[in-house]
Structure 1
Amino acid sequence: MDLAEETTVDVDTSQLTDVVARLKRAQGQIGGIIKMIEDGRDCSDVVTQVAAVSRALDRAGFKIISTGMRQCMIAERDGTERPLSDAELEKLFLSLA
């Protein structure tokens, strides 16, 4: 079973405004990459932009996971049910590696 099917975590979107901004920039960069390819731009320029988008997406993913980890720590401190187990958090983290 896929992790996405196993677990749902409501992420506090107020803590992710910078992630949304980063993803919107990446979305624009992807459009630019498509145009670069269509225009026949040099492959090294295209690859440089792909690498930049990849880093932006990785950072967004790590920020989302760290927010989930923070929610687990708060739940543990408050004695409430944790949204993710340690194994689920590890699997999410490693999915970006």
Structure 2
Amino acid sequence: MHEHTTPRFPMGLPAITPAAEAALNAAGIHPLRLLARHIHGDWGALSAEDIAANELALLTGKRLLSSYTVSDNVKIWIITEADRSVTTILMPDEY
């Protein structure tokens, strides 16, 4: 995958749910680390179809999703809204 050195889209206001914050703290991962991956287009552990959907969303102004595995069986999602006003770090079951 091509690595981008600049953000690929505006993320808007960052937000994090308490459960996601606790999971990242337990895994020893700072939320900014995952936010940086997300805004630079490293979508994490997504299917080829979801990656293609994100690439299209960059062109068409749709919602963006990243998924990162932070520890055994613990996933964190990052979602940037279509209007790019907010980017939320959350657990998949909170969506």
Select the structure of larger CA radius of gyration.
Answer: 1
Larger helix fraction of residues = 1
**TM-score where L is the length of structure 1:** 0.31
**TM-score where L is the length of structure 2:** 0.31
Larger strand fraction of residues = 2
